[in-house]
Amino acid sequence: MATTTSPRGTRGQRFFARWYPGVMDRAERAGQAEIRARHLAAARGRTLDIGTGNGFSVAHYPSSVTELVMLEPNPALRAQLQRRTQGIRAAAWQIVDGDAAHLPFGDDAFDTVAASLLFCSLPDPAAALSEVARVRRPGGTFLFHEHVRGEGLRRVLQEVAAPVQRRLADGCRPNRDFLALLSAAPFEVVEVEHRPMPGGAATVVPMVVGRARPA
Ligand SMILES: C[S@@+](CC[C@H](N)C(=O)[O-])C[C@H]1O[C@@H](n2cnc3c(N)ncnc32)[C@H](O)[C@@H]1O
């Protein structure tokens, strides 16, 4: 989805904002929250979280994050996110509208860039990865946490479900090969863990959680 033009967002964005927080909350309680906390412990300094949604990650950023910038294009999710900011440990934070493919920041603006369950939703994920590389300072880290294409029967299920999931989940493609996109981008994967999403629907179970740096 591109940057929202209507103040209320698209119909798809409003629908997604109604069901996602409740459904995802089950996965958070089943173990997603622990995965976020462990993974985001590596965040440092000025940090950008792209596609923050209603904010399941925000309380898991450590106090080594000096400023947390949360980019979220869905107005209904931005409103929910605003209500979760009391959990943020960074000394400074801001919520901004924007599009991952055209980040509204200068070059080398962040020590850490993080995204969770974002790249499935993007029409142009390669452009977004170029933007991540552009806004991250030399030596900075990209933290990724994505559900991805599976193998065998899981992949068949994902292919069959893809058109419906895309409509119901604001553009989400369950069959996206995120690691292939990452390896075609100017990144070196430093660490990657393949693991199931706890409590996730069958189409979003395979996940990759890891760190990358400029190639
Ligand atoms: C599945 S949700 C994940 C939300 C959150 N990161 C989490 O882990 O719960 C995908 C998020 O990406 C956002 N998104 C969709 N298209 C985007 C774009 N072009 N740029 C930035 N964020 C986008 C959606 O609004 C939504 O908040």
Each residue's pLDDT tens digit, 50-89: 999 999 999 999 999 999 999 999 999 999 999 999 999 9
Output the residue whose Cα is nearest ligand 1's atom 25.
74
Say what the pLDDT of residue 5 is. Answer: 57
pTM beyond 0.85: yes
Each residue's pLDDT tens digit, 122-159: 999 999 999 999 999 999 999 999 999 999 999 999 99
Cα 64 to ligand 1 centroid, rounded to whole Å:
24
Quick check: 68 and 88 in contact, CB under 8 A? yes
Cα 141 to ligand 1 centroid, rounded to whole Å:
20
Cα 45 to ligand 1 centroid, rounded to whole Å:
22
Say what the pLDDT of residue 165 is. Answer: 97
Task: Confirm or reject: Cβ of 10 under 6 Å from ligand 1.
Answer: no
Task: Confirm or reject: Cβ of 113 under 6 Å from ligand 1.
Answer: no
Task: Report the percentage of the chain scoring pLDDT > 70.
Answer: 98
| N-to-C CA span, the chain | 28
174-180: long-range contacts, CB 8 A cutoff, minimum separation 24: 174/120, 174/147, 174/149, 174/203, 174/204, 175/149, 176/119, 176/120, 176/125, 176/146, 176/148, 176/149, 177/148, 177/149, 178/119, 178/120, 178/125, 178/144, 178/146, 178/148, 178/149, 178/208, 179/148, 179/208
Task: Confirm or reject: Cβ of 146 under 6 Å from ligand 1.
Answer: no
Say what the pLDDT of residue 85 is. Answer: 96
pLDDT at residue 121 greater than cutoff 50: yes
Task: Confirm or reject: Cβ of 76 under 6 Å from ligand 1.
Answer: no
Task: Confirm or reject: Cβ of 122 under 6 Å from ligand 1.
Answer: yes
Cα 119 to ligand 1 centroid, rounded to whole Å:
8
Residues 17-34: what's their mean pLDDT?
97
Say what the pLDDT of residue 215 is. Answer: 82
Say what the pLDDT of residue 100 is. Answer: 98
Task: Confirm or reject: Cβ of 207 under 6 Å from ligand 1.
Answer: no
- So what CATH class is 11-214? alpha beta
Output the residue whose Cα is nearest ligand 1's atom 23.
51
Output the residue whose Cα is nearest ligand 1's atom 27.
53
For the chain, the average pLDDT equals: 96
Q: Ligand 1 atom closest to Cα of 49?
A: 6
Confidence bin at 7 (pLDDT 50/70/90): confident
Q: Ligand 1 atom closest to Cα of 56?
A: 9
Residues 6+ apart with CB under 8 A from 54: 17, 20, 21, 77, 80, 81, 84
Output the residue whose Cα is nearest ligand 1's atom 1.
117
Task: Confirm or reject: Cβ of 4 under 6 Å from ligand 1.
Answer: no
**Domain ranges (residues) in the chain:** 11-214
